[in-house]
Structure 1
Amino acid sequence: MSIDWQVFFLTFSTLFIAEMGDKTQLAVFSLVTESRNPLSVFLGASFALALVTMIGVLFGGLVTRYVPQHFLKIGAALLFVGIGFYTLYEVFSSGAVVK
C-alpha cells in the first residue's frame, strides 16, 4: 500500500480547517481545564478521533462499492443544506435573533 501525498495533504488540510473551533475542540478545552491533565485528554481525544475516522473510512469504502460517487456527493450536499436550514429555523423560531 502506498501513500498518495496529494490525497493525504488534501485530507489533512480539509479536516484541520473543518475541526478548528468546532465543538470537539471546545470540549477538549473544557476537559483540560477540568482535569488539569492535558496528556490524558490529548491521548483520549486522539484515539477517539482516530476511531471515528476509521469508522468513516470503512463505511465510506463499503458504501462506494454500491452507490455511485455522484449520488453520494448530491446526498452529502443535500444533507449539509438541510442541516443549515434546520439550524436557521431553530435560531429564528427560538426568538434568539435580535430585532
Structure 2
Amino acid sequence: MTEIETQSPTKENTDHPQHKKQESVWMVLGTTFITIFLAEIGDKTQLSTLLMSAESHAPWVVFLGSAVALITTSLLGVLLGGFIASKLSPKTVEKSAGVILLLISLMLVWDVIQG
C-alpha cells in the first residue's frame, strides 16, 4: 500500500463542503420533523382527524385526506416562506414574526379577560 492509502482520515479529508451540506440537510429535516411532530400532538387537527375516523369507519380514507391537507398547507407555508425570505432580510422576518405573535398573544389575553 502507498502512504496515501494507509493514512487515517484527518479533519482535512472529512470536512468536504458536500459532507457539511448533507449534514445540514439532515439537521434541518430532523429539526423540522421534531418541531412539527411535537406541535401537532394533541392539537385540534389531530383531534378532528380522530373524530372523523371514528365516525366514518374509514380510517384509511380519513388518513389520506388529512395527510394531503397537511402536505398542502405545509407546501403553502414553505412557498410563502421562500417568497418572504427572497424579499425581506432574515432579521426583518424574525422581528415581524415576533411582533405578530406578541399581538396574537395580547388579543388572546384580552379575549380571556373580556370573556
**Structures share a fold, TM > 0.5?**
yes
Q: Where does 1:6-85 land on structure 2 (aligned, <5 Å)?
A: 6-85=27-106
**Amino acid in the other structure paired with 1:42:** F
How many aligned positions are there?
A: 93
2:83 and 2:48 map into 1 onto residues whose CA distance is 31
Gaps spanning 5+ residues in structure 1: where? Answer: 95-99
2:50 counterpart letter in structure 1:
F
State the one-letter code of the partner of 2:79. L
Aligned-pair CA distance for 1:31: 0.8
Instruction: Output the CA distance in 2 between the equivalents of 1:20 and 1:59.
Output: 24
Task: Name the SS of the counterpart of 1:28 in structure 2.
Answer: helix
Partners of 2:105 and 2:43 in 1: how far apart? Answer: 15
Q: CA RMSD in A?
A: 1.4
Please give the TM-score of this superposition, normalised by the length of structure 2: 0.75
Structure ranking higher on relative contact order (CA contacts 8 Å, 6+ apart): 1
User: In terms of Rg, which structure is larger?
Assistant: 2
Unaligned segments of structure 2, at least 5 residues: 1-20
Give the C-alpha shift of residue 24 in structure 1: 0.8
Give the CA deviation at 1:82: 1.4
Spell out structure 1 runs of 4+ moving beyond 3 A: none
Deviation at 1:75, TM superposition (A): 1.1
Following superposition, the deviation at residue 38 of structure 1 comes to: 0.9
